[in-house]
Amino acid sequence: MNKRSRRGAVLPLLAVVAALAGCASLPAGTRATTAGTHASPAASHLATVTPSSRNAAAATGALGRNGAAAWSITPNGVYVSFDAGRNFAQVALPAAVTAPNVMAVAARANRQIWLAAQAAGGPSFTLYARDSATARWSQGVRLTPTWPTNLGGAEKQAGGASIIPGGPGQVLVLSQLQLTHSVAVPRLFVSADSGITFTQRSIDVDSPWDSVAILGANVVGVVGELFNHVVHSGDTGATWSPAVVNDVTSGRYVAGTPVLSGTMVYLPVTEPDAKNNGVFVLLRSTDGGATFNAAGAETLSLGGPYDENPTAVAAAGASWWLVSPTGSVYRSTDNGSSWSKAAGLLPQGVASIGATDSQNATVTIEQNACTAGKTNCSSGQYFETTSDGGKTWTQT
């Protein structure tokens, strides 16, 4: 399976949520699977590909990305790149943190870094913020999700963490307790001072959260096992309402990570056409995410059967990048109103893409293999980058 299972997708997929050129939106990913803002990687998530020598250590971990910033969480430490994954350097951890306790990482291109570390037992974890000017970590703030008390003991467990940078000074941390494939208890922590202090929000939506983005007072999330329930808040997550998603003709769709830019909210949507082939359209909202419409945006054929996973897309200002399930690369310079196909072709297994500008982008590629039926399985991730608008790609 080259792309992640929809039914197994929960918190680890928030890594693609990123702040890109003034847009608060990932992953990676970084809608990046098991990367960036996620639970600490298990052994099955260690990369098995052969990395370049300068990135050998970083390539043994789970990868995440936020525009030109990228990171890798490994059993031996955390590695960060500020040139879209081309070069990594190990980052000194906060004094009280060891590598196995790192739950989540996020970074900005301005060298701000956030890190969540497991606490000793229970649902609590500690969030550290590293100042971009001094490279010093904050003393850390302990975050304790207030789970319901009637979960038969599940409320004593940790729910993981996802770190989502937003507008200036804004950081979200999402923790959710997964009870079944379709039921989860989410808690959102909101910071307006770059992660030094937080306010906890209880969210009355008992479904797994796949992605969330914030800019100012507006917050938009994609929830549900099928990636097809969009919710929005106009008061930094204190209250929530379902969004109205128009211009989805089939009645079936999957939504990708929202992107907030100024007064506009963009929602990547993939749906099947009449022949069950995948098509993509970038919907937009001018009311903070309450209502989405196509507004004349091009519906792009993805050249293959409908894939029930969100399409890999990323934004850098008005420049958007998209990778189809078959590896074709498309670019838009008008916020998704029209698309053109790039010359290069990527292998199947692209989990997410992040963009720095109209010429530079980085993809996370997953490789999953089993040597004997369903046994001896391995899973790996690696980056490929382009600096010529998608004509050529280089593994880093």
C-alpha 385/C-alpha 394 separation (Å) is: 5
pLDDT tens per residue across span 312-342: 999 999 999 999 999 999 999 999 999 999 9
pLDDT reported for residue 47: 28
Q: Which domain holds residue 37?
A: 6-395
Higher-scoring residue by pLDDT: 293, 148:
293
C-alpha 171/C-alpha 168 separation (Å) is: 9
**Token output for 140:** 């850390």
Calculate the alpha carbon distances from 215 to 24, 65, 171, 261, 265 in Å: 6, 19, 10, 8, 10
Query: Does any domain span residue 214?
Result: yes
Query: Does any domain span residue 164?
Result: yes
What secondary structure does DSSP assign to 174-229, as a single string? EEEEE-SSS-EEEEEEEESSTTSS-EEEE----S-EEEEEEETTEEEEEESTTS-E
- State if pTM tops 0.85: no
Query: At CA 288, angle to CA 283 and CA 294, rounded to 5?
Result: 15
- Output the domain CATH number for residue 197: 2.130.10.10
Total tally of structural domains belonging to the chain: 1
pLDDT tens per residue across span 82-106: 988 888 999 999 999 999 999 999 9
pLDDT tens per residue across span 369-396: 676 667 767 667 888 999 999 999 998 7
124 pLDDT above the threshold of 70: yes
Query: Does any domain span residue 97?
Result: yes
**How large a percentage of the chain has pLDDT more than 90?**
59
Query: Does any domain span residue 53?
Result: yes
Query: Does any domain span residue 157?
Result: yes
Query: Does any domain span residue 244?
Result: yes
Query: Does any domain span residue 1?
Result: no
**Token output for 302:** 């993805």
Higher-scoring residue by pLDDT: 21, 243:
243
Task: Say if CB 77 and CB 31 are below 8 A apart.
Answer: no
C-alpha 119/C-alpha 384 separation (Å) is: 34
12 pLDDT above the threshold of 90: no
C-alpha 247/C-alpha 99 separation (Å) is: 46
Q: How confident is the model at residue 367 (pLDDT cuts 50, 70, 90)?
A: confident
pLDDT tens per residue across span 33-79: 222 232 222 222 222 233 455 677 777 777 888 888 989 999 999 99
Compute the average pLDDT of residues 238-244.
94
Mean pLDDT of the chain: 83
pLDDT tens per residue across span 279-320: 999 999 999 999 999 999 999 999 999 999 999 999 999 999
pLDDT reported for residue 108: 92
Query: Does any domain span residue 87?
Result: yes
**Token output for 52:** 């370049």
